[in-house]
Amino acid sequence: MNEEGRGPSAEPLLALIGEHRESIRAELDDEQHALLLARLTALAEAPPDDTMAVRRALQGVRLALRPLPFGHPVRVLVDGSRLVAAPPGPAAVTEAMALIGLLAAPDPAPATPDRGPAPGPAATPAPGIGGDRGTDPLLREPAFSAAEATARCGGAPPPELIRLPDPPNGDRYPRFQFPTGGGTPHEVVLEVNRLLLADIDPRGAASWWLGGNTWLGGTPASFLGRLPDHELVGAATALVEGE
């Protein structure tokens, strides 16, 4: 704790992530590790002089570290760090940039006997539907275009709505966020998306809605309209609070 009785500042947490990056990689599965990288990227891209933006991006990093075991040194620090912690400084953005390179670096390949020249580069898939969208499970989900989402919302879609970039086809708004028969987005979707920081990590929020959930016993999106809203909010809150 600092002398004001608040939680630790951002820099010690980021430094500890770098120090324990190997054990973090060992404890997180591929999806969880990718989410951590995505939220570090959001922190690295936050305007350094916008304290609120940096604070919210840092909270996204904390949430991505929740799957670590309780005894892990980083988890211990995360559990003692809340949004009331000392305001993060611009150094948090710089340190996040450095961390991305460390965590994204592949493990060193074991030495192998010389087997001659390396094969040429593999063909790169064409962009668009046959390329990025074809290999990205989130972009294969039913979705509205930006124009369709705007029409359903009666104006600009709210920032809480999950928006997935799909170059060069344009932004996609997963369809589960809207009632099947028409109308504006589900209020519970917007509430949960605020908890999941969907505006800074839309992929992480979409993965929660469209992935299996042990709290609910199924995919959260499939329970829209079938379960009381408070149960969906409770499941998201359990993730945020690490229950």
**Whole-number pLDDT of residue 92:** 77
Handedness of CA 178, 160, 40, 44 (dihedral sign): positive
Q: How many CB atoms lie within 10 A of CB 167?
A: 11
For the stretch 205-239, pLDDT in tens is: 888 898 877 778 888 999 999 999 999 998 888 77
pTM summary value:
0.55
Q: Which residues of 153-165 are buried (b: 16+ CB within 10 A; e: fewer)?
A: beeebeebbbbbe
Mean pLDDT in residue range 18-33: 87
For the stretch 50-92, pLDDT in tens is: 877 787 788 788 878 877 887 888 888 876 654 334 556 677 7
For the stretch 163-174, pLDDT in tens is: 998 887 889 999
C-alpha distances (whole Å) from 191 to each of 152, 176, 186, 197 are: 18, 14, 9, 10
**Whole-number pLDDT of residue 37:** 84
Structural tokens at position 156: 């600009």
Residues of the chain above pLDDT 70, percent: 77
Q: Is the pLDDT of residue 181 over 50?
A: yes
**Residue among 164, 159, 175 nearest 136 (CA):** 164
- Give the position of tokens 């074991």: 110
